[in-house]
Amino acid sequence: MLYVDPHIHMVSRTTDDYELLAASGVKAIIEPAFWQGQARTQIGSFQDYFSSLVGWERFRAAQFGIRHYCTMGLNSKEANNEALAEQVMDLLPLFLTKEGVVAVGEIGYDDQTPTEDKFFRKQLEMAKEVGLPVLIHTPHRNKKQGTYRSIDVIEEHGIPPHMVVIDHNNEETYREVLDRGYWCAFTIYPGTKMGNERMVDILKVAGPERVIVDSSADWGKSDVLAVPKTAKLAAERGIPRDQIELVCYRNAIAAYSQSGQFTEADWLNPPVVDQRNLFEGNSVLRGGQSPRIDDANEANIIR
Amino acid sequence: MSEPAALVELMRSWLNSRLDPAALAWLDDRVQAIASSDKKALYLSFGLVPRKVGKGSLNLTERECNAAIAARHEWNPDRWSIDQLVRTMLVLSFPSSDTDAYVKTLDQMYSTGEVGELIALYQTLPLFPNQPAHILRAAEGIRTNIKAVFCAVAHHNPFPSEQFSDDQWNQMILKCLFVEVSLRPVIGVDERANPRLMTMLVDFAHERRAAHRPIPAELWRGVGTYADDRAIADLKTVLTTGTSAERQAAALALSTSRHPAAKSVLAEAPEQAHAISAGEYSWRTVAAAEQAH
């Protein structure tokens, strides 16, 4: 089976991780702009970070036959530095229309301060202006209220739910998100977010429609193989293959292809110019590799 | 070299048969806006190019290729894609009479560019007015670790051989070998040979040998002309003990050498010496032999 990991922070990961992803069938990844574990203090740091997402990191992924996309935005945590955040707002238009930028994100709330709210709204307006989908980061703390508030603000700004992916859902939030028509993403991230056994239980109840599985693997203790591991566990626990394909591949393509910057053909049948410049020959369609997920069942459980 | 406006006009003439009317109308409108110093139009349309014109191959006709060379010596956009050509048209449309301001505008594009944009910008180097104003940028392109961007400067591009100092040129050639891209598409590779490069390359060959790593056969191309005693000794070893590709490479290098011993060393390998006088070897056959190995 082929996979997309539509939320993963590869700038924090090693080449070993790229090899694991490629060998496990992950064909494309989306790297949302986010904070890097420590607040930036200069606008130049943002510019270089954004540039690396569309430049160096895209090339690095391509060396492993993985197609790299990104989302652009100012995360809610760093939005609290108001003076700097204003400068980032001036910088973002330069990056939003670049090739391979598939959404505005990840944006939303962290502490749910008035300043976060201000820049969340500004970026929703930018997304509307350039016609890009939006990726919403829901807060770790006061999650349920923060999630509902995000949805209310999105509706207030008149962005249709099919253009919005709400991420980091859990058992308490997903029903409302699905009922109101949004793409509902789950982050399989040990300890703090969702485990893959819980994910499979949710799938049994919620079904696959508009559900998206991702890893959000980053600089913390996280798992780059969260998507393929969840797919494997779901299969073992009786979820039909076509449903697994939806939540681990097709739904992400459907959601982000609305950007016009994300199609399956990009990695299955890339343009000649991309093959020449980004994939160095045949590395994009390497066949015959066996997944590297360990056979031992326990190793595939993420709690 | 033709003026930017004339180059843009030439490139525009190639697009009539390759783009649909909507894409052409968009392009003409943007070129006009950019020509009136609209920087925002330049930045935004530059990013939008692939979704407006696609990424098809340009596939120029022979006549079009000749027109390119007539407009700019050694310019060969034949292997460019349509989006790359259109991006070149956009940056060349921005007013460039104030060189400092023009370079500053370009700097902003280079420093925020995604991979495809960077390739297009570096491919445009030989077309910018006031060529020496872009030397530092070209040298920066050589420092990249993104191979496709590196090749946009080093391959099929007349800018480096015309503008680079020996030090800049030598870094580029050594890096080609280091990152394993061919020297054959480098314009001026034989003309810009120099003694210091010869020494660097022989040092590099020794380093590779000490590490038990293969030495690219093409390395000897930069060694031949100015070979010193040490280089001649290496060439002799490679000529008699190397792989088929290496023997060909050493023979070619020796055949261009000005060293008094070069001829007699080559004669020690009668098969290769014969092939050289029969004109059977070229850097293309070296590459073919290396690939077959």
ipTM, two decimals, is 0.86
pLDDT value for A185: 98
- What is the per-residue pLDDT across A105-114, written as a single tens digit (0 to 9) for each? 999 999 999 9
Dist. CA B19–CA A40, nearest whole Å: 44
Question: Which tokens go with B148?
Answer: 């496709």
Q: How confident is the model at residue A274 (pLDDT cuts 50, 70, 90)?
A: confident
Sequence-separated (6 or more) residues with CB below 8 Å from residue A143 = A168, A170, A172, A173
Would you say the C-alpha torsion B106, B107, B113, B116 has a positive or negative sign? positive
Check B147 against A97: CB less than 8 A apart: no
B147 CB within 8 Å of a chain A CB: yes
Q: What is each CA distance from A187 to A194, A232, A252, B37, B81, in whole angstroms?
A: 6, 16, 13, 46, 38
Looking at every residue in chain A, the average pLDDT score rounds to 92
Is the pLDDT reported for residue A282 higher than 50?
Answer: no
For residue B90, count CB atoms less than 10 angstroms from its CB and return exposed for 0-12, middle for 13-18, buried for 19 or more.
buried
- What is the per-residue pLDDT across A48-75, written as a single tens digit (0 to 9) for each? 999 999 999 999 999 899 999 999 999 9
A44 CB within 8 Å of a chain B CB: no
Dist. CA A122–CA A171, nearest whole Å: 30
Top pLDDT among A286 and B196 is at B196
Sorted by where each starts, the structural domains of chain A and their CATH numbers stand as 3-281 (3.20.20.140)
Q: Which residue of B has its CA nearest to A280?
A: B148
Contact of A135 with A167, CB cutoff 8 Å: yes
Dist. CA A221–CA B199, nearest whole Å: 49
Would you list the domain boundaries of chain B? Answer: 1-165, 193-293
Tell me the one-letter amino acid at A216: S
Contact of B220 with B252, CB cutoff 8 Å: yes
Residue A54: its chain B contacts at CB < 8 A? 113-115
3-state secondary structure of A228: helix
Check A58 against B114: CB less than 8 A apart: yes
User: Mean pLDDT over residues A136-158, rounded?
Assistant: 96
pLDDT value for B59: 94
Going by the DSSP 8-state scheme, the letter that residue A122 receives in this structure is H
Q: What is each CA distance from B277 to B235, B272, B285, in whole angstroms?
A: 18, 9, 15
Is the pLDDT reported for residue A24 higher than 80?
Answer: yes
Best mutation target, B83, B85, B146, B149, to test chain A (most A CBs within 10 A): B146
Check B113 against A94: CB less than 8 A apart: no
What parts of chain B have a pLDDT lower than 70? none
Check A94 against B112: CB less than 8 A apart: yes
B293 CB within 8 Å of a chain A CB: no
- What is the per-residue pLDDT across A89-102, written as a single tens digit (0 to 9) for each? 999 999 999 999 99
**Strand pairing report for A183-187 and A164-167:** parallel
Tell me the one-letter amino acid at A224: V
Helices B115-123 + B82-93 axis angle, to 10: 60
- DSSP lists the bridge partners of residue A213 as A186
User: Mean pLDDT over residues A223-251, rounded?
Assistant: 97
Q: Which residue of B has its CA nearest to A47?
A: B112
Q: How confident is the model at residue A280 (pLDDT cuts 50, 70, 90)?
A: low
Dist. CA B34–CA B129, nearest whole Å: 16
pLDDT value for A293: 56
Question: Which tokens go with B279?
Answer: 């004109």
Contacting A residues, span 127-156, partner chain B, CB-CB under 8 Å: none
3-state secondary structure of B130: coil
Is the pLDDT reported for residue A283 higher than 90?
Answer: no
Nearest partner of B107 among B146, B131, B80, B134, judged by Cα: B134
Strands ordered across the beta sheet of A164-167: A3-5, A26-32, A67-72, A101-108, A134-137, A164-167, A183-187, A211-214
